[in-house]
Structure 1
Amino acid sequence: MNLRRIYFQPLLFPIIFFGLTILVGGALLCLPICLRNGQTLSWTDGLFTACSATCVTGLVVVDTSVVFSSFGQGVILALIQTGGLGIMSLASLALYLFRQRVTLTDRIAVGQNLLQDSSFHLGAFLLKIVVGTFVIELAGAFLLRLTTRGAMSLPSAMFHSISAFCNAGFSLYGDSLTRWADSVPVNLVIIGLIVLGGIGFFVMTDVVDWLVHRIGIGRGKPHKFLTWYSGVVVKTTLYLIVGGTLALFIGQWWGQPHQHTLGHVLLTGLFQSVSCRTAGFNTVDIGGLTDVTLLFMMALMFIGAAPGSCAGGIKVTTFRIVLAFLHAELLGRDQAVVGKIAASRETVRKALSLAAFSVLLVCGAIIVLSISERWGLPRTQIQPTLLAISFEVVSAFGTAGLSMGLTPHLSLVGKYVIITLMFIGRLGPLVFVGVLSTLNRRVAYSRPDSDLLIG
């Protein structure tokens, strides 16, 4: 067995790609040309910003518009685009090959077996992703420029369009998008870009093909159905958007005195429901939200969006499989059914393992950060609450980018903990599932089993 082919080629490539991009980006951001006159940036802060941009998170330790020059903002934008396109290309490629029943090692590392598939053209596939991405981002920039009636400059509109589609959450405004909280068109444009980036290129093309056949453009061709995967992603995404909007509305505004109309409140809830699962833009002060609302948002950030997209978290498919497994266990059934199709035992095992791994990672990071921030801050400064630390950790793992204001005040250890979380949150699930797959080899013997008292 070629151990180098199994363990190193497929699993190490994404790590090397993103790792080198972050290191180079961090070094560039520390150069004087990337900074405004009189501004300085430490290596740690440069690395943090580069990691946040490449991993399309959006957490910042310095004000992007104040510290970085136009060139520096361009570097950040390039990192966002590289990170967003990189993970979308790799994951979409893996999803395509999954349907062709190619092994996971060949899905991630394109080898000879892939190139022998006469129906697959790698260059055309990746070009389709790149062109589709730029078309969506240009359309988003045009709509933002139009809906803000010129208040948002063209470069700013392009920056925010790319940031939204790549689910990065970076903004050139210190208050994120709160100045546009009352603008329905701006909110809807950003929401649309976030959702498209959050479902991934594979699902987008599948849905477009399905719609083309539904409206009759593809008449005369074989009837097109949504794949099981796309159906699960679209339905679960819609359920989370609607459920998240209602949960945030109940947690924050139900029975509470407020000065806004019901429409404004629902629009804000909708925007944050979409944004907090993956993007990190905000139209309200996160630090001013109720504890219940923050807990709902943490749950959404932990779930994330779809595989093959720019989002982090455990992904909506993992969440759906775990729910189906729990439902089957409660009813005493043997199969976890999702959309009238039973998930394989291997799929259920991987989903449960990934969810458990993520919970342990988040809990461990909360403990470490609680210790580092208590020791790293002067006694005269207010200590961060456990909720603020937990929110920060989940936001980093889910690459959501929302914060209760703790990020700029993190200690040195705290910053590197968050950097690690953003990196693992961006690549961890993909690599973790890959490890499970490569370790899934039958042995020539089995050990005796027995029952153990639990619960």
Structure 2
Amino acid sequence: MSIKKFLSPLALPIYVFAAAIVLGGVLLCSPFSHAGPDVSFLDALFTATSATCVTGLAVVDTGTAYSTFGQVVILLLIQLGGLGIMTYASLFFYLWRRRVSLTDHIAVGQSLMQDPSFHLGHFLLRVVACVAVIESVGALALHLLDPQGFSPFSAVFHSVSAFCNAGFGLFSDNLMGYRGNAGVNLVIMALIVLGGLGFTVLVEMYRLGRERLRPRERLVPRRRLSWYSRTVLTTSAFLIAIGAVLLFIGEMNTGSAGTDKADAVLAALFQSVTCRTAGFNTLDIGHMGEASLIIMILLMFIGGSPGSCAGGIKTTTFRVLAAFGRAQMRGGRQAVIGRYAVDDGTLNRAMTLTIFALGIVLAALLVLCFTEGATMAHHLAPGRFMDILFEVVSAFGTVGLSTGLTPHLTPAGKIVIIVLMFVGRLGPIVFLSVLQGFQERPRYQWPEQGMLIG
């Protein structure tokens, strides 16, 4: 087998991410990273994977278990994972005036833009500048809102963690202490949403905003958002709104959101935003109702948008499948979104991604049921299955929310979650494409025949 297949553009991010995780695990396992008792290598590797894959699941408390050095390592891993190590590598070569190969150009283009034909250097500089500005503004806002709670380092840490959709926090109760603080909630939500839209949409929104601020010239039509960006924005807004409404209804009788209606609305909105792969929480997830947990599982499985810091099957996949389902119910032949119909290639990729995602989640769920004690009689462990299902989807969607199971995982369970976070961050399609690259395409076709379905 040719070595070029092992070093294909799609396989390189797997190796680079794996190397970064191992290096991060070694650093977090060193005594310099510990503020208290030593952290085992498996727990350090788990934290490094969670940070690099911008998940947020933690087996030890980040704020108390790790020293400032360890927290800086976690912060760097979050930033690297959020923007993508391939992006940093390509930017490094560009700044040193190295020639980036065509294969790397296409690889980065496919991971960040829906159109791979773009100027790599200019795009990467815009991305880094855009991210630096957003994270800096977010950190400054958090520090001004609460200088004591959000010290300069804490403000930067939480701003980067929110924009990269990581969900790591330095507070033992995450952000539950800020449940009624509208300012902090709005800043974190804005960072999460911006980080989950995708760099393509951010750059397009910046260009559009800059153009609108300029005086309009006669006979020059104003630029409009592309079909792709409009689809991402409308789908994201719909999921946030419907999620907030359903979570508010689901928590009306549990009391976890408090008695104040304004705080309950804010908490429902925040949780709807954050379970789209961010991982912060102002509510105690372990005390939420099962209806709310199911809603959050669905939102976590969908995730954010392509080319963003978020995970999941992505908002566009959900929108394409919804359009396909609507077309089938109406007897139509095309999945129409707005003014355009989705092509067959996109529809096939959406279905393939969803099928593989469901298969991975179900396989991990079954394994964890064996490793985490869900094989006993149901009446002896009520709610155990829901805890495991929530943990699995949270890891696959790189969300980081948990009902409290993460610190109590067995060593085998931790390994399963590590693999889930790794696969979820890079995407099942990447691994499928790499496996397909090792196979020779068949030069024949089998005879086709219909089969009864449903």
Matches within 5 A, 1:291-306: 291-306=290-305
Q: Which moved more, 1:121-130 or 1:15-24?
A: 121-130
Letter in 1 for 2:127: I
Q: Which residue of 2 aligns with 1:99?
A: none
Q: Which residue of 1 aligns with 2:180?
A: 182
Letter in 1 for 2:263: H
Matches within 5 A, 1:236-247: 236-247=235-246
1:146 equivalent among 144, 147, 152? 144
Cα offset for 1:223? 3.1
Between the aligned partners of 1:338 and 1:441, the Cα distance in structure 2 is 36
Listed one character per residue, the Cα deviations across residues 374-401 of structure 1 (whole Å, up to 9, x for unaligned) are 1899xxx968610000000000000000
Q: Which moved more, 1:145-154 or 1:274-283?
A: 145-154
SS in 1 for 2:341: strand
1:59 equivalent among 57, 70, 73? 57
Matches within 5 A, 1:374-413: 374=373, 385-413=384-412
SS in 2 for 1:224: coil
SS in 2 for 1:420: helix
Cα offset for 1:326? 0.9
Q: Which moved more, 1:224-233 or 1:359-368?
A: 224-233
Q: Which residue of 2 aligns with 1:353?
A: 352
Matches within 5 A, 1:54-133: 54-86=52-84, 89=87, 107-108=106-107, 120-133=118-131
Between the aligned partners of 2:3 and 2:105, the Cα distance in structure 1 is 13
Matches within 5 A, 1:39-54: 39-54=37-52
Residues 250 and 308 of structure 1, relative CA distance in 2, 3 Å threshold: same
Letter in 1 for 2:174: S
Between the aligned partners of 1:444 and 1:27, the Cα distance in structure 2 is 47
SS in 2 for 1:11: coil
Listed one character per residue, the Cα deviations across residues 353-388 of structure 1 (whole Å, up to 9, x for unaligned) are 1001101110110000000111899xxx96861000
Residues 370 and 376 of structure 1, relative CA distance in 2, 3 Å threshold: closer
Listed one character per residue, the Cα deviations across residues 232-270 of structure 1 (whole Å, up to 9, x for unaligned) are 111100000101101111111169797422211111010
Between the aligned partners of 2:405 and 2:183, the Cα distance in structure 1 is 31
Query: Could you tell me whether the CA contact under 8 Å between 2:109 and 2:118 is conserved in 1?
Result: no
Query: Could you tell me whether the CA contact under 8 Å between 1:105 and 1:434 is conserved in 2?
Result: no
Cα offset for 1:207? 1.5
Residues 443 and 411 of structure 1, relative CA distance in 2, 3 Å threshold: closer
Cα offset for 1:16? 1.0
Between the aligned partners of 1:146 and 1:131, the Cα distance in structure 2 is 22
Between the aligned partners of 1:218 and 1:211, the Cα distance in structure 2 is 13
Cα offset for 1:433? 6.8
Between the aligned partners of 1:397 and 1:44, the Cα distance in structure 2 is 19
Q: Which residue of 1 aligns with 2:337?
A: 338
Between the aligned partners of 2:288 and 2:85, the Cα distance in structure 1 is 32
Query: Could you tell me whether the CA contact under 8 Å between 1:325 and 1:335 is conserved in 2?
Result: yes
Q: Which residue of 2 aligns with 1:96?
A: none
SS in 2 for 1:284: coil
TM-score for both structures, normalised by structure 2: 0.88
Between the aligned partners of 1:356 and 1:104, the Cα distance in structure 2 is 28
Q: Does 1:195 align with 2:186?
A: no
Question: How many residues matched?
Answer: 435
Query: Could you tell me whether the CA contact under 8 Å between 1:350 and 1:433 is conserved in 2?
Result: no
Q: Which residue of 2 aligns with 1:230?
A: 229
Q: Does 1:373 align with 2:366?
A: no
Q: Which residue of 2 aligns with 1:364?
A: 363
Between the aligned partners of 2:374 and 2:294, the Cα distance in structure 1 is 26
Q: Does 1:285 align with 2:284?
A: yes
Residues 306 and 178 of structure 1, relative CA distance in 2, 3 Å threshold: same
Letter in 2 for 1:173: F
Between the aligned partners of 2:61 and 2:239, the Cα distance in structure 1 is 31
Residues 257 and 18 of structure 1, relative CA distance in 2, 3 Å threshold: closer
Query: Could you tell me whether the CA contact under 8 Å between 1:9 and 1:109 is conserved in 2?
Result: no
Query: Could you tell me whether the CA contact under 8 Å between 1:376 and 1:411 is conserved in 2?
Result: no
Between the aligned partners of 1:173 and 1:256, the Cα distance in structure 2 is 23
Cα offset for 1:229? 1.3
Letter in 2 for 1:183: N
Q: Which residue of 1 aligns with 2:322?
A: 323
Cα offset for 1:213? 3.1
Cα offset for 1:222? 5.4
Query: Could you tell me whether the CA contact under 8 Å between 1:212 and 1:218 is conserved in 2?
Result: no
Letter in 1 for 2:207: D
Between the aligned partners of 1:303 and 1:152, the Cα distance in structure 2 is 31
Cα offset for 1:151? 3.4
Letter in 1 for 2:307: G
Cα offset for 1:12? 1.1
Cα offset for 1:88? 8.8
Q: Percent identity?
A: 48
Q: Which residue of 2 aligns with 1:163?
A: 161
Listed one character per residue, the Cα deviations across residues 166-212 of structure 1 (whole Å, up to 9, x for unaligned) are 00000000100011111001100000000000002210111122233
Listed one character per residue, the Cα deviations across residues 117-155 of structure 1 (whole Å, up to 9, x for unaligned) are 9x9542332122112111111100100011225432111
Query: Could you tell me whether the CA contact under 8 Å between 1:350 and 1:436 is conserved in 2?
Result: no
Residues 294 and 219 of structure 1, relative CA distance in 2, 3 Å threshold: farther
Q: Which runs of 5+ in 2 are unaligned?
A: 92-101, 111-115
Q: Which residue of 1 aligns with 2:95?
A: none
Q: Which moved more, 1:127-136 or 1:55-64?
A: 127-136
Query: Could you tell me whether the CA contact under 8 Å between 1:280 and 1:400 is conserved in 2?
Result: yes
Query: Could you tell me whether the CA contact under 8 Å between 1:88 and 1:310 is conserved in 2?
Result: no
SS in 1 for 2:84: helix
Between the aligned partners of 2:424 and 2:14, the Cα distance in structure 1 is 12
Q: Which residue of 1 aligns with 2:268?
A: 269
Residues 245 and 109 of structure 1, relative CA distance in 2, 3 Å threshold: closer
RMSD: 3.0
Q: Which residue of 1 aligns with 2:99?
A: none
Residues 259 and 222 of structure 1, relative CA distance in 2, 3 Å threshold: closer
SS in 2 for 1:10: coil
Q: Does 1:32 align with 2:66?
A: no
Q: Which residue of 1 aligns with 2:97?
A: none
Between the aligned partners of 1:21 and 1:259, the Cα distance in structure 2 is 41
Cα offset for 1:439? 9.6
Q: Which runs of 5+ in 1 are unaligned?
A: 94-102, 112-116
Cα offset for 1:332? 1.1
